[in-house]
Amino acid sequence: RSVRQSVAEHRVLRLRIRDLDGRIVYADDGTTSGVDDNSTKAARGAVVTEITRLDADAFAERKVARPGPRVVEVYEPLVSAGHRVGVLELYLPYAPIAADIAQGQRMLAIVLGCGLLALWLCLIGISASTSRRLRRQVAINAFLAEHDPLTNMPNRSQFAHRAAAAIADATADRPTAVAVIDLDRFKIVNDTLGHRNGDQLLVTLAERLGSRLRDGDTVARLGGDEFGVVLPFVHGPGEAVEVLTRLRQVVAEPLDIDGLPLAVEASIGFALAPDDGTDVDTLLQRADVAMYVAKRDHLGTVHYRADHDQYDAGALRLVAELGAAIECNELLLHYQPKADLHSESVTALEALVRWNHPERGLLYPDAFLPAAEQTELVEPLTRWVMRQAFRDLHELDPQGTLAMAVNVSARSVTRPEFVEDVLRVLEETGTAPERVILEITETALVADPARAAQTLSLLHDAGVRISIDDFGAGQTSLGYLAALPITELKIDKTFVLSMVDDERNAAIVRSVIELGHSLGFTVTAEGVETTQILDRLSDACCDTVQGYLLARPTTAVRLPAAISDVARMLRHGARPLPD
């Protein structure tokens, strides 16, 4: 009954019970025959299951036309009181299992789908955030490539781009101004307040400059304490000066660095496109030149003019550093002996200035003096040279037989305070005026003869000796020469150097010697490089000689050896020692 009910409810499709030999003992459908392998296995204790079709065997033997529905066939030992008594052969409908599997698969598909969707959403999210981060990094890199990291201002390359764009469309009526702003004495601020405060100062000034620009104008940091400005399409130089002067005032507004009130000044130079140049490099270089003129003459803002170019930017840049260099003791002196041909001994030393530049190495006067002589800086330079030279003189020659020659630039000779400067240094260093020779170039005298004569007379009265340097190269009127309180003529080395090869120059040398002697001066020849020159000068009765043959300019430390070499050479006509 129970089997029939199960079959009626389709929970069981067929049920058979077999004895241990496989014979059917009971079958719900009344089957009586048919031994099965599986039943034998079950009779031995195994549970055998198989998915098959109902009546599969009958179909195979063509006893039925069609196979029945899919079923699970189960053979299971029947156990009673611990003994196998037979085999249960059971056919269960496969449809609910199939439905279950289908349902499971559907669930799996849904879960898998949702999972994949979630994964996809995650990946989208990750990739979006990564690419956002990458884009941000790219933007930062692009910004850094075009901006100065300290001030966030456009840098030199961005400046060049913007300037080039503004220059391209500039016309003579609506020119574009390219300007350079350089802070005055920033190095000193930096050195005394420290680099961190120096940086802070630059950041503050950059913010100020940036906030006071007109639309379309550009301000950039070109490097160090130098800023560049592009003012596109101004209405001429007047407007450029006006805008730049305002920027200069902006810089000069007091600021507070580390609790310290500070005022910074700036010098500005500018050039206009297209009149002063049509490419960024030229305009920048000219703005730079104008800026140095502004700095030198304390003019604030200067428009470039062609005649500014005589101060080439490199030398002007050096001059801007020279003030600090004098204070930081970066200058040094080399000395070159002046030898007397009559006594065959060194009688004086000439001090020649050099600059031990921290970046450029040892600089000779041509590199920085011509530009420095255009500025007031040459005054402290001359004072430094005199002080140092006289101190060294006392160390080198305590007996006081040698004189010290110092070169004085034209600018000093026409300055009334110069006499006081010299006398003060003499007093400070305890130097007798008679031991001092001031070498003044001929050209210095021509510039302002009356003023020069006055200064020289005062110095001469104080006992200082005056030498006219580079004589023959300028155009001193001979009559005027006689009126000056001169002790020495120094023949320009170009004549001396060529006197062996060029008879006319030899004649000039001989004439200058005679002229000097007639006026009561000592005559010195500089540029004595060979023994032939020395012999000729000696024949012409020249008094004093100086040149590489005898000694090259050298440091105070090496001087005593050089001096004795010179004396030995003059006495014995010995060959000079290689330098």
**Least gap, CB of 557 to ligand C2E (angstroms):** 18
The footprint of Ca ion on residues 389-408 (CB under 5 A) is: 407
Give the β-pairing of 361-363 and 436-441.
unpaired
Taking CB under 6 A as the criterion, the residue among 243, 385, 542, 569 binding ligand C2E is: 385
Token readout for 391 is 């101190």
Whether residue 159 contacts residue 181, with contact meaning beta carbons closer than 8 Å, is answered with no
What's the rounded Cα separation, in Å, for the pair 481 and 485?
Answer: 9
**Least gap, CB of 439 to ligand C2E (angstroms):** 6
**Least gap, CB of 532 to ligand C2E (angstroms):** 13
Specify which residues 92 forms β-bridges with: 72
- Please report where in the chains the tokens 């240094």 appear, as a residue: 425
- State yes or no: residue 469 binds Ca ion (CB under 5 A): yes
Q: Judged by CB, which is closer to ligand C2E: 397, or 492?
A: 492
Specify which residues 77 forms β-bridges with: 87
**Least gap, CB of 210 to Ca ion (angstroms):** 51
Q: What is the 3-state secondary structure (H, E, C) of 454-486?
A: HHHHHHHHCCCEEEEEEECCCCCCHHHHHHCCC
Determine the Cα angle at 454 with ends 448 and 455, to 5°.
Answer: 90
Q: Judged by CB, which is closer to Ca ion: 182, or 470?
A: 470
Picked from Ca ion, ligand C2E, none, the partner binding residue 365 (CB below 5 to 8 A depending on kind) is ligand C2E
- Nearest to Ca ion by Cβ — which residue? 439
**Least gap, CB of 386 to Ca ion (angstroms):** 14
Q: Judged by CB, which is closer to ligand C2E: 473, or 515?
A: 473
Whether residue 576 contacts residue 530, with contact meaning beta carbons closer than 8 Å, is answered with no
Whether residue 510 contacts residue 538, with contact meaning beta carbons closer than 8 Å, is answered with no
Whether residue 381 contacts residue 355, with contact meaning beta carbons closer than 8 Å, is answered with no
Q: Give the CA-trace dihedral at 162, 163, 166, 171, to 10 degrees.
A: 180
DSSP character string of 383-415: HHHHHHHHHHHHHH-TT---EEEEEE-HHHHT-
Taking CB under 6 A as the criterion, the residue among 280, 493, 523, 537 binding ligand C2E is: 493
Query: What is the three-class DSSP state of 34?
Result: coil
Q: Judged by CB, which is closer to Ca ion: 280, or 385?
A: 385
- State yes or no: residue 439 binds Ca ion (CB under 5 A): yes
The footprint of ligand C2E on residues 310-369 (CB under 6 A) is: 336, 351-353, 364-365, 369
Taking CB under 5 A as the criterion, the residue among 321, 470, 488, 543 binding Ca ion is: 470
Taking CB under 6 A as the criterion, the residue among 407, 467, 505, 544 binding ligand C2E is: 407
Site string for ligand C2E, 433-472 (x = CB under 6 A): ------x-----------------------------xx--
Q: Judged by CB, which is closer to Ca ion: 407, or 544?
A: 407
Taking CB under 6 A as the criterion, the residue among 76, 330, 376, 529 binding ligand C2E is: 529
Give the β-pairing of 488-491 and 83-93.
unpaired
Picked from Ca ion, ligand C2E, none, the partner binding residue 547 (CB below 5 to 8 A depending on kind) is ligand C2E
Whether residue 280 contacts residue 163, with contact meaning beta carbons closer than 8 Å, is answered with yes
What's the rounded Cα separation, in Å, for the pair 314 and 538?
Answer: 42
Cβ atoms < 10 Å from Cβ of 461: 11
Q: Judged by CB, which is closer to Ca ion: 18, or 490?
A: 490
Picked from Ca ion, ligand C2E, none, the partner binding residue 326 (CB below 5 to 8 A depending on kind) is none
Segment near ligand C2E (CB under 6 A); pick from 40-48, 98-106, 186-194, 526-534 = 526-534
Picked from ligand C2E, Ca ion, none, the partner binding residue 529 (CB below 5 to 8 A depending on kind) is ligand C2E
Q: Judged by CB, which is closer to ligand C2E: 293, or 528?
A: 528
Specify which residues 523 forms β-bridges with: 489
The footprint of ligand C2E on residues 535-574 (CB under 6 A) is: 547-548, 553
Query: What is the three-class DSSP state of 366?
Result: helix
- State yes or no: residue 53 binds ligand C2E (CB under 6 A): no
**Least gap, CB of 529 to ligand C2E (angstroms):** 4
Strand intervals (E) in 195-341: 218-223, 226-231, 255-257, 260-262, 266-273, 301-303, 331-340
Query: What is the three-class DSSP state of 130?
Result: helix
Cβ atoms < 10 Å from Cβ of 467: 26
Which positions lie near Ca ion, rule CB under 5 A?
407, 439, 469-470
Binding residues for ligand C2E, per CB under 6 A? Answer: 336, 351-353, 364-365, 369, 382, 385, 407-409, 439, 469-470, 493, 526-529, 547-548, 553
